[in-house]
């Protein structure tokens, strides 16, 4: 019996475990597809290719969350240079200092335990 192909989410997480930010690309739409899916939301095609992002992006929007317990943290929408937007957070800077237009670089965050790795970003140092 043939082994079933990995789900799009499993493939995405496997790339994260190897330190890569993967996304899908739809040749019919000539556009990136993110979050991983089984069909292109623009065309309905199931022909999606996996690609690896260089990991650079720009903060599109950000907010600071103040939980009842624990330190404040930011939630940000990142416009990744390959043409897709994703929700994440920016680390290595106080949450209230994350700015729209800030250039950021992807890295993998390992929460530990049974939690899967997740993509986060850090500011790109000015040249």
Q: What is the mean pLDDT of the chain?
A: 93
- What total of structural domains would you count in the chain? 2
Is 88 found in the same domain as 27? no
Q: What percent of the chain has pLDDT over 90?
A: 89
Is 118 found in the same domain as 79? yes
Is 37 found in the same domain as 85? no
Q: Per residue in 23-57, is it b (16+ CB within 10 Å) or e — as a string? A: bbbbeeeeebbbebeeebeeeeeeebeeeebebbb
Digit-coded pLDDT (tens) for 37-96: 999 999 999 999 999 999 999 999 999 999 999 999 999 999 999 999 999 999 999 999
Residue 101: both structure tokens together? 């237009």
Return the residue matching tokens 């623009």. Answer: 42
Is 84 found in the same domain as 36? no
Is 82 found in the same domain as 30? no
Is 31 found in the same domain as 18? yes
Q: What percent of the chain has pLDDT over 70?
A: 94
Domain that holds residue 114: 54-127
């Amino acid at each position: 019996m043939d082994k079933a192909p990995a789900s799009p989410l499993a493939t995405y997480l496997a790339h994260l475990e190897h330190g890569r930010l993967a996304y899908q690309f739809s040749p019919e739409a000539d556009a990136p597809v993110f979050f991983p899916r089984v069909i292109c939301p623009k065309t309905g095609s199931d022909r999606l290719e996996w690609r690896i992002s260089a990991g650079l992006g720009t903060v599109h929007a950000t907010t600071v969350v103040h939980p009842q317990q624990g330190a404040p943290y930011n939630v940000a929408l990142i416009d990744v240079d390959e043409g897709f937007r994703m929700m994440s957070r920016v680390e290595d800077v106080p949450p209230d200092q994350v700015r729209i237009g800030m250039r950021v670089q992807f890295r993998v965050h390992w929460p530990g335990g049974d939690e899967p790795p997740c993509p986060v970003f850090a500011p790109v140092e000015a040249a």
